[in-house]
């Protein structure tokens, strides 16, 4: 390593070795110093930073790792921010955690630090879905909340997400305020570790019951469920937190034939049956799909470890199974909800949906056709939650969604919610069955009525310091060396959310973008294609989102249209010269 970096790293190493940390942690640091300089650099060259609502990283010792001390330091920063904002006032926090290795330990660590700073803590008695944490914050009137999770990341990772009093993940100005306080904590020695156990209160099924009861109020097709209560549904938590509440909520809605996947009902942070506990990955559904075929199930649903995202597989009329992508599931869910709201006479012109800028434009077109307003936000469900907060009392929120398999109906939770989504997706399947249709038939009807859309996501991993530099260079190249066209299609509009500016390439006019500043580029092509590029806020990746469309006159035309659109995306990928 160069001299400057060596000096910075060794200064941080010395700070940690001189702090009051346990002997095992000191021994781990000394081992790295003697035998693994690269690991020492990666563990100490920077601090874990808050991304979309918190921090996420590989577990291990050092300021750039998830461990007892980085969790304690982050919590001390949060406590300092709360105590400065509300001095001499009682303050409350809720804490939940997922199935990952060390999640319970990190959650209890956070509870102890908050209590040492005079903050009352409601700590769940066992693992719980992340969206239930959002519900608990609102139900218990907390000032903040913490959930320990790394979502769908590999088993080596864990994470720490902070929520605010509205139940949504932190956004400006609180995110910056908390980050500033966390950065002011220079070592574990700055943390108050003197636990006040009187301020830590365990919560359990009393919150579960209220949460499920509230979800039940969202049901729109109880008659269809009664008629098709025995519709076979395979449900898997993929070793995660929905293992209890997922099936229980489905049964509360009225479904009686819930088929589990026993191997994946075991809560295990090593995720032994999958390569990745990510419902975006087909491999994660191998066991569930096998179970579906054996039981002739009509619907398969699988949630990620913290149960805020869900992937689904639908059975077609011919008996084959189809894994839907996040945009397709959002399309069906939103179309179903708006249809039922319209039938009930509940659409008055004051309702709205929310989606992110990288999510399919089909959602906005559907909303428009129902007389419902559609809002775009930056990527990250915290921005959807913020839009709900902004319009609270003025407009009626119906549903929100993003392409990355996260959806929310109702406003009593302020984060994407796989428990709510599973219940409503199953209900939509029963509703479709009433019309002798499958969810796949519903999707094909939508494509025929509006347009056939196809989307793809390419993620390129660039780890460590050199990876971060490579991602920054790629963004600069696309921002400052933009061609006139991609794959022969002229660029009509460029949305640069870092500059907060839209450029009309035909007229050369500039327009201001009202969304918050973010390092995202978006290109709109003359054939309606949309390309979005952004660095991930939670992983060492740069992401490329592609959305293409074409008219479709009949559901039977879908295979041909799908091939056409796939070729178009392949050509765009080649035109962008995306390589590892």
Burial of 476 (0-12, 13-18, 19+ CB in 10 A): exposed
DSSP letter at 170 equals P
Of 226, 227, 224, 244, the C-alpha closest to 235 is 244
Residue 296 dihedral angles phi and psi, to the nearest 5°? 60, 40
Burial of 217 (0-12, 13-18, 19+ CB in 10 A): exposed
Rounded Cα gap, residues 321 and 315, in angstroms: 4
- Dig out the tokens for 168 from the structure: 């949504």
Rounded Cα gap, residues 484 and 415, in angstroms: 39
Catalytic residue among 134, 151, 221, 532: 151
User: Peptide bond before 173: cis, by omega within 30 degrees of 0?
Assistant: yes
**Residue the block writes with tokens 């597989």:** 313
- Given a contact cutoff of 8 angstroms between Cβ atoms, the answer to whether 531 and 545 are in contact is yes
**Cβ contacts of 525 within 8 Å, gap of 6 or more:** 485, 486, 489, 490, 491, 492, 531
Three-point CA angle 520, 398, 446, nearest 5° = 75
End-to-end CA distance of the chain: 24
CB atoms within 10 A of CB 369: 12
Return contacts of 293-296, CB within 8 angstroms, 24+ apart.
Answer: 293/321, 295/232, 295/234, 295/259, 296/232
- Given a contact cutoff of 8 angstroms between Cβ atoms, the answer to whether 279 and 309 are in contact is yes
151 annotated active-site: yes
Of 410, 387, 388, 412, the C-alpha closest to 399 is 410
Q: Where are the beta strands (DSSP E) in 410-517?
A: 452-461, 485-486, 489-496, 501-504, 510-512
Rounded Cα gap, residues 157 and 47, in angstroms: 15
Burial of 57 (0-12, 13-18, 19+ CB in 10 A): buried
Q: Which residues are catalytic?
A: 151
């Amino acid at each position: 390593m160069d001299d400057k970096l060596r000096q910075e790293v060794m200064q941080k190493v010395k700070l940690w070795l001189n702090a009051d940390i346990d002997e095992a942690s000191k021994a781990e640091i000394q081992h790295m110093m003697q035998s693994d300089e690269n690991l020492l650099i990666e563990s100490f060259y920077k601090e874990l930073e808050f991304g979309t609502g918190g921090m996420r990283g590989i577990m291990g010792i050092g300021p750039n790792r998830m461990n007892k001390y980085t969790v304690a330091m982050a919590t001390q920063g949060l406590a300092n921010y709360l105590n400065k904002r509300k001095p001499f006032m009682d303050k409350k926090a809720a804490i939940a955690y997922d199935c990952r290795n060390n999640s319970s330990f990190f959650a209890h660590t956070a509870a102890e630090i908050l209590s040492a700073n005079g903050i009352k803590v409601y700590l769940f008695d066992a693992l719980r879905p992340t969206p239930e944490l959002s519900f608990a914050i609102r139900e218990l009137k907390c000032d903040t909340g913490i959930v320990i999770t790394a979502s769908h990341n590999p088993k080596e990772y864990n994470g720490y997400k902070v929520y605010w009093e509205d139940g949504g993940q932190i956004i400006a100005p609180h995110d910056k305020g908390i980050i500033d306080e966390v950065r002011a904590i220079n070592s574990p020695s700055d943390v108050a570790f003197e636990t006040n156990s009187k301020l830590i209160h365990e919560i359990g099924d009393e919150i579960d019951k209220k949460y499920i009861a509230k979800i039940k109020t969202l049901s729109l097709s109880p008659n269809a469920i009664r008629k098709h209560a025995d519709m076979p549904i395979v449900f898997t938590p993929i070793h995660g937190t929905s293992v209890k509440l997922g099936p229980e909520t489905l049964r509360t809605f009225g479904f009686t034939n819930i088929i589990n996947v026993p191997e994946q009902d075991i809560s295990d942070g090593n995720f032994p049956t999958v390569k990745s506990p990510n419902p975006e990955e087909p491999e994660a559904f191998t066991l569930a799909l096998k179970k579906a075929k054996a039981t002739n199930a009509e619907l398969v649903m699988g949630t990620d470890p913290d149960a805020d995202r869900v992937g689904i597989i639908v059975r077609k009329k011919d008996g084959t199974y189809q894994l839907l992508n996040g945009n397709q599931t959002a399309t069906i869910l939103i179309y179903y909800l708006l249809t039922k709201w319209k039938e009930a006479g509940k659409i008055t012109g004051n309702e709205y949906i929310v989606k992110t800028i990288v999510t399919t434009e089909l959602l906005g077109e559907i909303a428009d056709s129902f007389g419902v307003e559609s809002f775009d936000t930056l990527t990250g469900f915290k921005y959807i939650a913020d839009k709900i907060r902004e319009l609270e009392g003025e407009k009626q929120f119906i549903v929100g969604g993003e392409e990355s398999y996260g959806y929310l109906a109702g406003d009593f939770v302020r984060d994407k919610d796989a428990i709510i989504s599973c219940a409503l997706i199953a209900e939509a399947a029963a509703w479709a069955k009433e019309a002798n249709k499958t969810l796949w038939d519903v999707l094909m009807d939508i494509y025929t009525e509006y347009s056939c859309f196809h989307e793809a996501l390419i993620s390129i991993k660039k780890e460590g310091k050199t990876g971060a530099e490579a991602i920054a260079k790629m963004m600069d190249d696309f921002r400052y060396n933009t061609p006139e066209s991609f794959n022969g299609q002229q660029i009509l509009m460029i949305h640069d959310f870092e500059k907060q500016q839209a450029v009309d390439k035909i007229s050369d006019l500039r327009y201001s973008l009202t969304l918050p500043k973010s390092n995202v580029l978006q290109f709109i092509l003359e054939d309606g294609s949309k390309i979005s590029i952004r660095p991930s806020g939670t992983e060492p990746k740069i992401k490329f989102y592609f959305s293409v469309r074409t008219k479709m006159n009949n559901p039977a035309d879908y295979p041909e249209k799908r091939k056409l659109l796939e070729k178009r995306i392949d050509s765009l990928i080649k035109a962008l010269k995306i390589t590892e």
